[in-house]
Structure 1
Amino acid sequence: MKVALLADTDGRWKWAARLAARLAAEPEILGYQLWTHELPSHRQLLEAGVRPEQVRQLTPSGLLEALATDLPDILVVAAPGGGCQAVLQLLAAARLEPRPLVLTGYVGVVYENPVDGLLLRAGSDLIGVNSPADLEQFAGVLTSVGARPESLVRTQLPFLEDPAPRTPSGRFAVTFAGQPGVPTSRAERQHLVQRLADHARRHPERDVLVKLRNVPGELATHPEPYPYDELIRGLGSQRPANLKVIGGLMSRALSRTDLLVTVSSMAAVEAIHAGVAAAVLTDFGIRESLGNTYFLGSGLLAGFDELDRGLVPTVNLDWARQRGVRELHDDLPGRVVQALAEPRGELVPFYNLTNASGLLPRLLAGYGVGPDGRPLPARTTSVLRKAVRSGARGVYRHGTTVIGPALRRLAAL
């Protein structure tokens, strides 16, 4: 089976590669980098399970040419809703014959803009849905707007695998799973570092481990403005000896963890699945913008004061089952086999210029696609603006990951 993966960031590459591995024992992988993003590092691609030499960065017209020249059985679109919509409109206008089976889905838990993201994916042959709760909600949405709920397929949450063997150190380990984009302000991130340091001082019998999301300087799904390793170094002599920074895979970190602490990271779900206790912090409130509203009813919401007093939350198993945790239910491989054996008609995205004339032109232009679904010329103004935005993102990342840290180190001298 030949599977083409179209992704943009390291996390989505990881999701797409693992999904492909579930669809076939030894799939032939074609890797296409979404044209709006820079390539992840070689380390990130290898950690995702993708060989860097398999990946090509393509323009919209380049993607169509690649699909026509070397037709895959399946095209996995691992992109946010806007990227999925751009690919759907591009393929629908091109009318490739034959064409690949188009599969989309969700890289993690869905806690914000569920209708927006779903309708931008609607029109794909198959949409992977990660939990019974999401499946029920999404089917209701598609039915209410006259779209096909049959495209929805129950699959498992990404990154949930058989837990790694436990490797306890003999000391109780509290692991904080940091997130690049939540919270965003320096003051809030400094607050978290200070509370972690306070916890380490209160509990010298524990190891407090801060798990970094990426190696400093690497691109990620969300840029990190104030990296935790820098903030911890800023503690200087006030840093407790049992407050440590670690990297690597989350599965390895969980193998030595007794309590996973996070603001709203997917790592909490991984911990539940692995049988590791987890706490989702409420120090900044329970808010959609933080993502911790997803954990309402889980039994995991807690503040640092409670953790300092020794609280180890217990998950609500009914909540976990409704969200696809602690069970690896996956209908997707069977549905893919069935869909590949059936004739495929033209792709028909839910959105078109009749029902979304104010949305599509601007959204698609940001991806170098015209309102008619055809690739825009490279010199089109909207594409140039996109290039400028991409360059600005690169400057921003360079500033936050290279220049900013250097200036902060100089200021500390």
Structure 2
Amino acid sequence: MKKSKGAYALLLGNYRPTAIIARELRARGYRVAVGLDGFERGAELSRHVDRFWCHPPLDEDGPAFAHALSELLARRGDIRLIVPVAENYVRFFAEEDVALPASVTALMVAPELVTTCLDKLRMMSLAEDVGVPLAPFAEVRDQPELIGEAERIGFPLVIRSVSSTHRLFGEKAITVADRAGLDRVLPHWPEGHRALLLQRRASGLRHNLYFAARAGRIDQLLHVEIARTDRLDGAGLAVEGATVATDPDLGRYTAALVAALGYSGIGCAQFLVDAASGETSFLEINPRFAGNHAIPAACGLGLTERLLDLCLDPASSADGPPAPFRSLRYCWIAGDLLGAKVAWRQGRISALEAVGWLGRMVRARWRAKLDVGFDWRDPLPGLANILDVLPGIGKLTRMRLSRPGLLPKRSF
């Protein structure tokens, strides 16, 4: 295990796992800086973060961000590690021709693996080839093909963009129950989408298998069952769940996919499992730090450390035996609050149903050993996330992002 000598690690994509990764890199001797751009944000307040970087948001102006990064790296010779945390930054470093200085390492899965895993159609085809079960699917490129394939696959139907970072009507995916629902939601081909991915909706709970692998062989694996998400339909982000003993079938499916990809690095394989019928459907592999990275971190998988050792020395061997299983219930208060607020504001739930949602949130917090967005040892990032989603209060706490001079840290 190599230790840094006080060089900087720059974390890009300021959201839930960023403060945890900062803590883990500080333990390896790095000083840590974080970019302010991100979804949930808050890591800029972590006691493990030394500096922040205010830069052009990647999604708003990619060329401006690339230019700003190039200027920063030319000016700061003490930056030795670039860590793309959020998916849009991972995709940027995988797909764009980013010329990093020879002294700077990108802490991420190899670009060719990232592009493969984020190609949903390619991954679904790979799953079929290696015998991993999944619901019927098709790629469509125009309205007549959409209608024809929807009738062939059958309803209910999940529809998403072929690009994992391109939203469909602001959503990662939409679900239609029948042909009438399809005609209502998509009477015409959506503007700005070259293709859509259709898949018959599978039922059941979502299961995440976090892993670390080298040359297609898994050396760390953790199975997490998601009990509830921030969406009424079970899509969206997990807000409650628990670790479970690894299911042999899901473990075997994950190993088959990792082997077929020749995967080296960290990732999270996702499946839907119907407990009543036993039917399983592969969803995807996320080739990056997961949003709930706090769970494998709390269970001792050492994913950050393993990825760091791999990136700094690809020929090195895995460090240490697999982590023993740890039973752990988790929740995410900030995500639960935001889910309830959005559902109520959009008219999807009544005031009484919102109260019931908050009751489930309190029960989840009472039962959980871990809040994936809040750490008592480093409370400010999680507290900021919670306050940011509260009506009225959030407007005030988010001022730190538009007025960086309010932050109690120095900028780059």
* TM-score normalised by the chain length of structure 1: 0.32
Give the structure with the larger helix fraction: 1
Tell me which structure has the larger Cα radius of gyration.
1
Q: Which structure shows the higher strand fraction?
A: 2
